[in-house]
Each structure stands twice: as C-alpha cells, then as structure tokens.
Structure 1
C-alpha cells in the first residue's frame, strides 16, 4: 500500500527543521548504505550522532505519532529514529530495496523494516528532479510532494530517487516495524478503519458500526505480531 499523508509537519516545524539542517555538518550518504545500495547511493546524510539529529528526529516522530492516518496505515510497533538527507548537483539514489533489518544506533535496537516513509522538507518548486519512484506490480509511481507531506510505502518495494539537477531536495526518511507485517493485511485493516470512520460520521455508533469495529479489532488481534 502506498499512501500520501498530507501536513505531517506544520510550517513552524518545517522552519525549525530546515534551520537546524542549514547549520548541520553533513556526511556522505553512502557511509550508511548496504553492500548493494552503496553502489547507487549519491547524496548527503546527517549523521545519527550529529548535535541536531536527536532534536529534529524527535520533532518528526512526535508529528507522525499525532497523525491518525499514519497510525492507521502503518500500525507502528516500533518507529526507527528518523534520519535526514539532501540531494543536489546531480545527486540521486538508484534502484534498491531497503534492508530487511535496520540497526538504530540511538535506540540501540535492530528492527524489521515493514513500512518505509519519506517526509518532504521543502517544496517541489525549490528543486528540479528528485522524484521518488516506487515500483510495484501496477508499475512505477512518481512521488514529489509539498513540504510537510509524507509518503508511506512497503519496504519490500523497489524504489529510487531521480537526479536533482537544480536546487536542493531535503527530506526525512524512516522505517517502521508494524504490528502487522503483511502489507495486504495492513491494507485491509486500513480500508476497514476508514470505512468505519465514514460510517460513524453519518450513523453514529449504530449496531452495524459497532459490529464492524469489533471485526477490525478482532482481525488486528489475530494478525498482530508483537
């Protein structure tokens, strides 16, 4: 399931994050790539132990946890510490699949990656290129969102970032170990949750809505992997 989540970050939060990134000391992004991805990764990345990293990552994490669409779609069990990258001067990231297991150096845990998330930190007009291309059985999907918006997609997806030929593309990226590891089941639960919300707006807590809500929680209870 791919999902565009609007307005994860407010304008004030975006300004604070960009101000922190403007004074940061960036490193070569290839330093954190796996053996396959290192061959195709050409960007800059904020080190996990940089002075700004934890503060900025906490802002992104809190914003994600407060957004109901993110919670419903990702069903997060563990949210890895958000990271930050920058693409410019032709920087790009070729086709790759994210590693199945990621070690979070700040939380000191290894986490299975079920859901990938990119939060765009500046507007499309600020740079040329830089589209996130996610491939699935229905073809290639091009993503280039306004600042503060996020895209969720399965970590099993083949994806890439096209070369940035003008300006700088700033983003935060992270992974989620979901309570439900199977993407199809997460999609079913998300669709059911959205249907329940719409029905509740028109019918209130009718007997039918209560029954559907019970089915949702019983499915989640059956499929949750904790």
Structure 2
C-alpha cells in the first residue's frame, strides 16, 4: 500500500528542523551504504553520531507516532530512528530495495523492515527533479510532496530518487516493523479501519459499527505477531 500522509510536521516544525540541520556538517551518504548500494547512492546524510541527531530524530518519530493515519496504516511495533538526507547538484539514488533487517542504533534491537517512510522537509518548488519513484505490480509511482507530508510504502518495493538538478531536496527517512508482517493484511485492516471511522461518524456506535469494530480487532489479533 502506498499512502500519502499529510501534515505529519507543521510548517513551524519543519522550519525548526531545517534550521538545526543546517547548523551542522553532513557526511557522504555512501558511509551508510552496503557494497551493492554504494555505487547507486549519491547524496549527503546527517551523521548519526552527531550530538544533535538523537533529538532531531526523535521529533520526527514522535510526530509519526501521534498521527492516526500512520498508526492505522503501519501498525508500528518498532519505529527505527529517523535519519536525514540531502540531494543536490545531481545527487540521486538508483533503483534499490532496502535491507530486510536493520539494527536500532540506540537500543541495539535488530528490526525487520516492513514499511518504509519518507517525510519531506523541502517544498516541491525548492528543487528540480528528486522525485521518489516507487515500483509495484501496478507500475511506477512518482512522489514529490509538500514539506511536512509523508509517504509510506512496503519496504519490499523497488524504488529510487531521481537526480536533483537544481536546489536541494531534504527529507527524513525511516523504517518500521509492523505488528502485521503481511502487506496485504495491513491494507485490509487499514481499509476496514477507515470505513469504520466513516460509518461511526454517520451512525454513531450502532450495533453494526460495533460489530465491524469487533471484526477489525479480531483480525488484528489473528494476524499480529
């Protein structure tokens, strides 16, 4: 499931993050790549060993964790610390699939990456190019969102970032392990949850709405791990 989540961060939150990120040095993104990705990745990354990293990362993680659409779509069991990257001057990232297992740099816990998330921190008119291209069974999807908005998609997806030919594209990116491993099951639960919310707004806590809510939680109980 590919889902656009609006206003994860407010304009003020984006501006504060951008100001603090700009006050520190960035490093070559290849430093965080495996040997296969190293030849494809041409960007800068905010260093995780910076004293400022933990606080900035936590602000993005907290914003996602309190956004109801993110919680409903991802059903996060573990959110890996968000990181930050910057593409400019032709920077790009060729077609790749994210690593299936990653280690939380703070807790040391090894986490299965079920869902990828990008939170845009630059407005679309601040840079040319830089589209996130995500491939699935329905073809290619081009993503370029407003600052503060996020896109979530299965971490199994082949994806890339097109070259940035003008300006700079700054974003936060992260992975989550879901309580529900299967992407199709997560989509069914999300669709059911959204329809329950709509029906509840129309009918209140009617017998039918309560029955569907019960079905949702029983499916979640059946599919969660």
TM-score range, shorter chain: over 0.9
- The answer as to 2:153 corresponding to 1:139 is no
How big is the shift at 1:107? 2.4
Match of 1:53 in 2: 53
Counterpart of 1:211? 211
TM-superposed deviation, 1:136? 0.3
Give the whole-Å Cα distance in 2 for the aligned partners of 1:49 and 1:205.
Answer: 49
Query: In the aligned structure 2, how far is the partner of 1:34 from the partner of 1:69?
Result: 32
**Counterpart position of 2:150:** 150
RMSD: 0.7
Q: Structure 2 CA distance, aligned partners of 1:197 and 1:46?
A: 39
- The CA deviation at 1:28 is 0.8
The corresponding residue for 1:30 is 30
Q: How far apart, CA to CA, are the structure 2 residues paired with 1:3 and 1:33? A: 26
| TM-score of the superposed pair, with normalisation by structure 2 | 0.99
Partner SS state of residue 48, structure 1: coil
- Post-superposition shift, 1:10? 0.7
Note if contact 1:48-1:106 (Cα within 8 Å) is conserved in structure 2: no
User: 1:91 aligns to what?
Assistant: 91
Aligned to 2:11: 11
Deviations 1:182-225 (A, max 9, x none): 00000000000000000000000000000000000000000001
Mapped to 1, the partners of 2:80 and 2:110 lie a distance apart of 9
Whether the 8 Å CA contact 1:120–1:150 is kept in 2: the answer is yes
Structure 1 residue matching 2:99: 3-state secondary structure = coil
Query: What are the equivalent positions in structure 2 for 1:109-128 lying under 5 Å apart?
Result: 109-128=109-128
Q: CA deviation at 1:103?
A: 1.4
Once the two structures are TM-superposed, the CA of residue 34 in structure 1 deviates from its matched residue by: 2.0
Taking the aligned partners of 1:195 and 1:53, their CA distance within structure 2 comes to 38
Q: TM-score, normalised on structure 1?
A: 0.98
What number of residue pairs does the alignment pair up? 225
Runs of 4+ more than 3 Å apart: none
Give the stretch that moved more between structures: 196-205 or 35-44: 35-44
CA distance in 2, matches of 1:43, 1:113: 22
Q: Whole-Å Cα distance in 2 between the matches of residues 97 and 138 of structure 1?
A: 17
3-state secondary structure, aligned to 1:36: helix
Q: Offset of 1:37 from its aligned partner? A: 1.3
Per mean C-alpha deviation after superposition, the further-off stretch among 46-55 and 77-86 is: 46-55
CA separation in 2, counterparts of 1:179 and 1:106?
21
1:77-135 superposed Cα distances (whole Å, 9 cap, x missing partner): 00000000000000000000000001122222211000000000010000000000000
In the alignment, which residue of structure 2 is the partner of 1:190? 190
Matches for 1:93-108 after TM superposition, within 5 Å: 93-108=93-108
SS at match of 2:35: coil
